[in-house]
Amino acid sequence: MTGYVPLAELTETETAVREAFGMGAHLDLAGRTDREVRGPVLAALLTGAYPLGVGSMPALRLDHARVTGRFDVEGRVVDHVITLRRCEFERAPILRMARLVALSMRGCRMPGMRARNLRVGSDLLLEAGFTCNGVLDLTDATVEGTLRLAGAILRNPAAAALLGARLRIAGSIQAVALRVFGELRLRGANVGGSVHLTAAQLTHPSGVALEATGLAVEGNLFCDTGGGRFDVSGSVVLSGARIGGDAVFSGAKLHDARGGDGQVMVLPRGAAEDHYVLDADRLRVDGDVKLDAGFMAAGTVGLRSAHIGGHLLLSGSSIGHRAAVAELAKAFAEGRAVTRVPVALVADGVEVGGDVEARGTHRDNRSGKAESDGDPRTAFHSYGQVRLVDAYIHGSASLSRARLRGPAIDVLFADRLRVGGTLFLRKVRASGSVRLQNAHIGSSLDCSGAQLTKPRLRPDGTLKPSLDARVATIGKDLLCSYGFRAVGGVRMRLVEVGKMATFAGARLGGRTGPGHRIADKALSAYGLSAQELVLVFPEHRPPRGAVILTRASVVSVIDGPALWAATGGVDLEDFTFQALGAVPEVPVRTRLRWLREVQPDFAPGPYERLAAVYSESGQEELAQQVQLERQRRRYAELHVAGRLWGGLQDVTVGYGYRPWLAMVWLALFWLLGLIWFAGHPMEKLDSDLSPVWNPPLLATDLLLPIIDLGQDNMWRMVGPSQWISGALIAVGWILATTAAAGATRVLKRT
């Protein structure tokens, strides 16, 4: 305390203040001509510099005073209640290291307050119009009750308006409808209750509006709506903060007037920049994080390595840089690869103990039934990339009906994402690619009805897959059906699906607009494994590009005509399956025609697999038809002699699969020989022998090689009979050889 004023020098107003102080009475100076009270006088009263009467119960309860000079109680212990209402201070009060019982300054106005290391034994009330036109310094202060800032105005635009680093509050911070022009700094503060910033307005366009790095809150953090909207012009930093309850930003509006589009270098060739409108990296929340119900962030939201014990709610929020999306759309239309991407949400390494909920709120459709996917108008909207690399969601994640805008980039980048339940992407509208490489989905990946357009572009301008889930693991089903559309195709390379992978009704490949490129692969399922694979595409809209099923392994496959009409063909090398069906059912001849159409160059594997499936299901006749077609295509690609030999086997014994044909040919030539020799008896070779002329036996002896029935060496063959007998011998050997070759092939197959 400085500038002691002797008792005799007190003004009439100051004397009235002294008398009211001694009785603990309330004194309102409104209406008085002289409302001035010198700061040193108030400090002297509070520190016992003026004598008081016997039985006094001092307390300072003063309204509408104009405090001049310096009010300084630095380092002093004040045992009296201080209640000042609507008072005006000429200079900033000095409360450094003071110990107060209670301090209330509702509606007061001052050019600042210096209160480092202040300790208040109960509540600190700076609310109801409290205005500070300078820095309010509460660094290292301790409030054993509640800090009340509701309706206060803190104004220090060029710097920090509130310095509350390492501030310790036993109760809560009640700052509903607080208005701050400058930085609100709560770095390392510790709050025993909750922090209420509902409807607060924080303005610091040139930098950080709320700096709460390392903030510890035992209760909830409320930055939501309630009689007004939590509105921040500047950035909010919650890095390393600890929230014991929920972190609620429902309906909040965050925007940064510093400009910029939040673009970062395409990873992994570059690194994301560190500036966000909401920086909550390493945030730890035991309850829910609510960025929903109209939450809007005109910039990047960072949740890297955050730990959320409850749910992450994003329904009805809008995050990202709207202006940057137009530039991306222009690059896609021109076929230019993007080297820098705008990022909407960075949640790499985030861990969520519950669900991630980003679908729209429930509503009834025209039939009166509730739509489980929610209302698209209240679903999550992003402008730029959403990153969930290495994220771990213990429950399910639903982005059903979400709108993800990021033409020519990976609009959802979620490599190594782990989801304990189901990942719902039902009816998502994504302008850009969805990347889920090495993801692990505990239950199902449901993309039913999703529309994935304008995929990421490679440096040469070609399209990358609209859905890229290579080396992913899906515990139950992969559902890309019911109107699913992927303009850039789908990559499911080496994906493990526990049950069913279905593309029923899916539209793969094509163009987003006139003049846009077409992907070369509509479906890449190299090495895919599943129990059931459904490839029933719309007949009027077959895949636009190649369908790769190389080394895929499934128990059952269901296909349709549109699969085999894929514009890029179907690659079936080493594709294995045990059961086969079609919608609608088709005969084996149709399947063989499909194989001919998609395999201009012969490969035996698909035929052998198809024949094995028919054989294992007891349809031997169909299996033989497939094997016959395999042999025909095999010999058709050989040289002339090979083709002739193959044709001979085909018509004579059906490559061993139709042995009865050999008997038919033998019977035919036997009959021809019988007819000839019946009308043309031969002379015997040896006059000493008397053989009996027997045309049937002679024809049989000539046709059967090796076996000697004693007829062909008994007669002199002359003239045409000599040629006919030679022909019968040749036919017998040819039929025997082809039959043996066919039998050998059948035995090897068996």
Residue 336 clears pLDDT 90, i.e. is over it: no
Per-residue confidence (pLDDT) for residue 582, from 0 to 100: 82
Residues across the chain: 750
Q: Which residues contact 8 (CB under 8 A, 6 or more apart)?
A: none
CA distance 266 to 253: 28
Structure tokens, 552: 């895929």
Q: Which residues contact 254 (CB under 8 A, 6 or more apart)?
A: 232, 235, 236, 277, 278, 296, 297, 298, 299, 301
Q: Is the peptide bond before 514 cis (omega within 30 degrees of 0)?
A: no
Stated pTM of the model:
0.84
Q: Rounded mean pLDDT of the chain?
A: 85
Which comes out higher in pLDDT, residue 258 or 24? 24
CA distance 578 to 249: 53
Residue matched to tokens 């024949």: 611
Per-residue confidence (pLDDT) for residue 421, from 0 to 100: 96
Structure tokens, 204: 């610091």
pLDDT digits (tens, 9 = 90+) for 684-733: 666 666 666 667 766 676 666 766 665 666 666 767 777 777 777 776 67
Rg of the chain's alpha carbons, rounded to an integer?
A: 44
Closest of 181, 166, 130, 172 to residue 151, by C-alpha? 130
pLDDT digits (tens, 9 = 90+) for 514-558: 667 788 899 999 999 999 999 999 989 999 999 999 999 999 999
Residue 679 clears pLDDT 60, i.e. is over it: yes
User: 528 near 492, Cβ under 8 Å?
Assistant: yes
* Kind plus residue range of the DSSP H or E element containing 322: helix 322-334
Q: Which residues of 687-696 are buried (b: 16+ CB within 10 A; e: fewer)?
A: eeeeeeeebe
Q: What is the mean pLDDT of residues 79-100?
A: 94
Percent of the chain with pLDDT over 70: 80
Closest of 285, 293, 313 to residue 220, by C-alpha? 285
Per-residue confidence (pLDDT) for residue 596, from 0 to 100: 77
Which comes out higher in pLDDT, residue 107 or 729? 107
Lowest mean pLDDT among 399-408, 441-450, 469-478, 690-699: 690-699
Per-residue confidence (pLDDT) for residue 151, from 0 to 100: 93
Residue 749 clears pLDDT 70, i.e. is over it: no
CA distance 449 to 428: 7
Lowest mean pLDDT among 124-133, 239-248, 628-637: 628-637
Neighbours of 587 (CB within 10 A): 11
Per-residue confidence (pLDDT) for residue 271, from 0 to 100: 40
**Residue 158: pLDDT band with limits 50, 70, 90:** confident
Residue 389 clears pLDDT 70, i.e. is over it: yes
Residue boundaries of the structural domains of the chain: 276-532, 589-637, 654-749
Per-residue confidence (pLDDT) for residue 747, from 0 to 100: 52
Residue 419 clears pLDDT 50, i.e. is over it: yes
